Amino acid sequence: MEFILVTPQAQPHVALIQLNRPKELNALNLQLMGELRDALKELDDNDEVRAIIITGNERAFAAGADIKQMAGKTAIDMLNIDQFSTWDQIRKTKKPIIAAVSGFALGGGCELAMTCDMIIASETAMFGQPEIKIGVMPGAGGTQRLTKAIGKAKAMEMVLTGKFMPAEEAEKQGLINRVVPVELYLDEAFKLAAEIAKMSPVAIKLAKESVNRSFETQLDEGLHFERKNFYLCFASEDQTEGMNAFVEKRAPEFKGR
C-alpha cells in the first residue's frame, strides 16, 4: 500500500486506515481508492475486526478526487475508467465504518466521509462540495447523500456555490455525529468504535444493512443519474478550463460551452 496506512488491530477489534498523501491533502487518486477498497475488503473478511475507522491527518481528511489526474479526461475516458465501481465496492463493506475528520473534507473527501456510517469531526473540519468551481459537479454521491443528510435547500446551496460548511454547523445540520477539539477527534472515534465493538458482530452487521436499506433503492438510482451527469461535464470546455485553472493556480473563465 503506497497511499494508505492500515493497522488491523489499532485497538482491540478496531482497525484504523489512514489516508496518506499529505502533500496533496490526501487527494483521492485512482490508486489510493483501489488500495482503500482492497484494505476494506480484507478488514471486512477479518473476524478479529468489528469496526473500522478511516482518517486523514489534522490538515485534511481528503481534498477531493485528484483534479490533476482528471483534468485532461474526456467524458468517454471517464466512462471507461469507471472510477466509481471502486466506490460501489467500498459502500458494500458490511462492518461499520467511522470517518474521523479533521481539516478539509471536500468533493470526493466529503463524499467519502458520507459513504462511511458515522462521522466524528474535529472543530477545524470543513465539509464542502466545491466541484462547481472547477466546472463539474459531485460524482461520488454528493448530490444524493448530502441532500438526504441536510435537506434540499442547504445541500443545493453547498453544491451550487461550493461554499464550505464548518464542523459546528455540520453537527447542527445532522451531517455529522459530533464535533470535538482537534486533539480529541481520533480518540472520540476510537471510543465510539469500542462501544460498537462490544456488541454482537452479527447484529451490528444486520443493523447497518437495515439502516442503509431505508434509502438504498432511491440511492442506487440517484447515484446512477449523478454519475452520468458527472461524466457529461467532461464533454464541456468549462470542465477543461476549470480543472486547468486549478492546476495552473488561476481563476477560471467559464463560457458555458
Binding positions for ligand CAA, rule: CB under 6 A: 24-25, 27, 63-68, 104, 106-108, 111, 130-131, 134, 138-140, 142
Least distance (Å) between residue 13 CB and ligand CAA: 31
Beta strand 4-11 with 14-19 is antiparallel
Least distance (Å) between residue 25 CB and ligand CAA: 4
CA-CA distance, 136 to 246, in Å (whole number)? 12
Q: Which of 108, 135, 141, 142 is catalytic?
A: 108
Least distance (Å) between residue 66 CB and ligand CAA: 4
Q: Which is nearer to ligand CAA, 61 or 190 (CB)?
A: 61
Q: Which is nearer to ligand CAA, 56 or 130 (CB)?
A: 130
Active site residue 111: yes
Active site residue 189: no
Q: H-type helices in the chain, by residue range?
A: 30-45, 67-70, 75-81, 84-91, 108-115, 142-150, 152-161, 167-172, 185-197, 201-233, 237-247
Cell of 142: 454528493
Q: Which is nearer to ligand CAA, 26 or 177 (CB)?
A: 26
Q: Which is nearer to ligand CAA, 16 or 27 (CB)?
A: 27
Name 28's bridge partners.
65
Q: Which is nearer to ligand CAA, 23 or 257 (CB)?
A: 23
Classify residue 79 by burial, with Cβ atoms within 10 Å: 0-12, 13-18, 19+: middle
Active site residue 245: no
Q: At residue 53, what is the residue type? A: I
DSSP per position, 211-241: HHHHHHHHHHHHHHHHHHHHHHHTTSHHHHH
Q: Which of 35, 111, 188, 226 is catalytic?
A: 111
Active site residue 108: yes
Using DSSP's 3-state secondary structure scheme, residue 126 falls into: strand
Q: Which of 226, 223, 247, 231 is nearest to 81 (CA)?
A: 231
Q: Which of 131, 171, 188, 226 is catalytic?
A: 131
Q: Which of 51, 65, 125, 245 is catalytic?
A: 65
| Catalytic site positions | 65, 108, 111, 131
